[in-house]
A = this chain, B = another copy of it.
Amino acid sequence: MREVGIAGVGHTKFGKWTEGTFVDMLSKAAVEALDDAGIRTVKGHGVDQVFVASMGSGMINRQSGVASALVDTLNLRPAMAETIENGPASGASAVKLGYMAIASGMCNCVLVVGGEMMRVVSGWEGTDFVATMLHPEAEYNYGLTLPAFAGMFTRLYMEKYGVTERDLSIVSVKNHENAVHNPVAHIHVVPSLYAIADDEDAHVINPYVAEPLRMYHVCPVSDGAAAVVLCAMDQADRFAKKPVKIAGIGQATDTHSVAEREVPTDLLAVRLAAQRAYDMAGLKPQDIDVAELHDAFQILEVAESEEVGFFEKGQGHIAARNGETRIGGKIPINTSGGLKAKGHPLGATGVSQIVELVRQLRGEAGGRQVQDAKTGLAVNFGGFGNNVVATILAREEE
């Protein structure tokens, strides 16, 4: 199969987008990625295909054909264009399709832009929008939401494996500390573990969102966009920087209705997606130097760190307690700040994870750099684990 790499990355500051329209936001990330790749957005640009990843462009931004609009705005006509939706895993799905487009030989260069402008809806309305990814008859219409599921999942995890609220706060604080060094992160304020977990009044600033999940165990609502330029590795010379290779991609679906899962604390789609990605890359969990895991809720970082094989099942929170997932630890997780502190604009997240891994593998991650990182794993989690994409990047040896 033809090899595919990432030649450029771009990323808006996650948070509240105030500089224009939804397409303007996508464009900003895209132009940064095209510039990073050394491609000018003029005739002869060589971009064959544009994929936009978004979950809510239609539902909350009332816009269809966004990918065509972006092609036109960027002056990339007549490039092909589609919008890709896979809930919160839309971003990694779009990268996967970019991979396929190039590996097939139909394209040489693909621009993938993930974005969500979701602060136009807020509070209950925003939670409801996100909940549209749940099973339409068995879950959504009974009022179930993602925080509700995550709360139940956390409770099961606590009972089965002894995870505590404090463990979730440990993961949260770590990610907030990493985000301080990431200029594009939404939140640059770091809560202390004492303040959100140990102080006798900790519950005041860290109230329950969906018991036992507290505010600091849940990602914020963010606007944002992230972009990558994918290229055929056999054309690497066309680009300004040495491309980072996509070594493996794995994806798997699980039951759409969470209640149908045999062991509700297992995330089978994460396990299988990661296994497929490892197999394709010819790598094992212990070969990974840095990982971005989908911590929309802190318990998911713990559970995913187990399902991808970094730790035994039930041991993820112990590893977090012991600092093994911090920068400098055994396997640094969410150096970007993760969804918790970098933010989680749904369609952007999967692309944003790849952007972070590219920065790490290029040695461009500044104060959050993992020393000599050569391989990175990203897990992008769709639905409540019903459609998961794992992606492995590898820096080729000089």
The interface of chain A, by Cβ under 8 A from chain B, is 1-2, 21-23, 55-56, 58-59, 62-65, 67-69, 71-73, 76-87, 90, 93, 96-97, 99-101, 103-106, 132-133, 135-137, 140, 249, 251-257, 268-269, 272, 382-383, 386-387
Contact = CB atoms under 8 A, between A and B. Distances in A.
B132 A63 contact: yes
B65 A386 contact: yes
B62 A253 contact: no
B136 A69 contact: yes
Given A58-B56, A59-B62, A93-B82, A68 B253 contact: yes
Contacts of A63: 132, 136, 140
Contact of A84 (B83, B99, B249): B83
A250 to B, nearest CB: 9
A59 B64 contact: yes
B254 A78 contact: yes
Contact of A135 (B69, B251, B268): B69
Nearest to A71: B253
Contacts of A62: 59, 132
Copies of this chain in its oligomeric complex: 2
A19 to B, nearest CB: 14
Contact of A65 (B22, B73, B87): B87
Nearest to A50: B253
Given A136-B21, A272-B78, A87 B64 contact: yes
A254 B104 contact: no
Contacts of A269: 78
Interface centre among A22, A65, A69, A81 (most CB of B within 10 A): A65
A104 B253 contact: no
Given A81-B253, A106-B1, A23 B136 contact: yes
B106 A253 contact: no
Contacts of A140: 63
A43 to B, nearest CB: 14
B256 A68 contact: yes
Nearest to A85: B83
A256 B100 CA distance: 26
A348 to B, nearest CB: 15
Contacts of A58: 55-56, 58-59, 85, 132
Nearest to A257: B72
A56 B58 CA distance: 7
Contacts of A22: 136
A137 B68 CA distance: 14
A78 B256 contact: no
Given A65-B133, A387-B68, A80 B253 contact: yes
Given A58-B56, A100-B100, A68 B85 contact: no
